[in-house]
Amino acid sequence: MKKSLVSIQKESLHIKEITDLINRDPDLRIIRDRNLVLRYRKHFKQGGQKVVLVGGVYDMLHDGHAGYLLRCLKLGDILIVALDDDALTRKRKNDPRKPFDSEMDRARMLCFACLAHIVTFRSIDEHPYDLIKLLRPDILVTSETTADVSNRDRKLLKPYCGEVIVLPPQSSNSTTAKFKRFAEMQGSAMAEKMLSAMNELFKPLNITFNAVETKNDKRVS
């Protein structure tokens, strides 16, 4: 069945808005429907636009993420980010506490920061290569620091991409480092509360516990 003029105009409007990164509407850019993502990819291919595909978690978005995605944007005309959903993130990171931000919050942040033309999702129920084989991007970007993507993987994926590019980290910052800092801050705050409670308890005995103690020096007065 042929498309109506209205539907054609509507599709053209979406393509125009997606191409223009100034439009930050997450409802426009976040697309779960693989078939719809594929239709966009085919449209861009027909128009001679180079499509770049990159995966990742992008939890607690920081300068390293931004620098990495900006490099990806410069490689082509359209950047599709395949975001690991929450379940896949927990599996790949082997950490039940992650991600800190939900998949939708992470996807929205990428849109608000103008770091992706389209954001879709990878799930725990699919093979890591599925989306790549479906979209066949002109450029596939992987990171040097992604532990579960080997040089062998990159060679196996080459037939489904025009080019596979490996980028180094764009910052020493990382989500893991942020998690550790939060844990240290939380631990420090807890220690201060315990110290205050102990000093209050031993106040009648004129005993004071200082914040810093060594193994051989209890530092009590």
Q: What is the pLDDT of residues 50-101, one digit of tens each?
A: 999 999 999 999 999 999 999 999 999 999 999 999 999 999 988 888 899 9
pLDDT at 181: 63
Tokens for 72, please give them: 């990806």
Residue 204's pLDDT is 73
The owner of tokens 């078939």 is 35
Least confident range from 56-65, 130-139, 181-190: namely 181-190
Contact 169, 66 (CB under 8 A): no
Give the domains, in start order, of the chain with CATH numbers. 23-172 (3.40.50.620), 174-221 (no CATH)
Mean pLDDT of 167-184: 66
Query: Which comes out higher in pLDDT, residue 32 or 204?
Result: 32
Query: Could you tell me the pTM of the whole model?
Result: 0.75
Reply yes or no on whether the pLDDT at 171 is more than 70: no
Alpha carbon distance 102, 108 (integer Å): 10
| Cα atoms found within 13 Å of the Cα of residue 42, Cβ hemisphere only | 7
pLDDT tens sequence across 24-42: 999 999 999 999 999 999 9
pLDDT level of residue 196 (50, 70, 90 thresholds) = confident
Q: What is the pLDDT averaged over residues 11-20? A: 77
- Do β-strands 51-56 and 139-143 pair in parallel, antiparallel, or remain unpaired? parallel
State the DSSP string of 131-180.
Answer: HHHHH--SEEEEETT-TT--HHHHHHHGGGSSEEEEE--S-S--HHHHHH
Is the Cα torsion angle 93, 98, 101, 103 positive or negative in sign?
Answer: positive
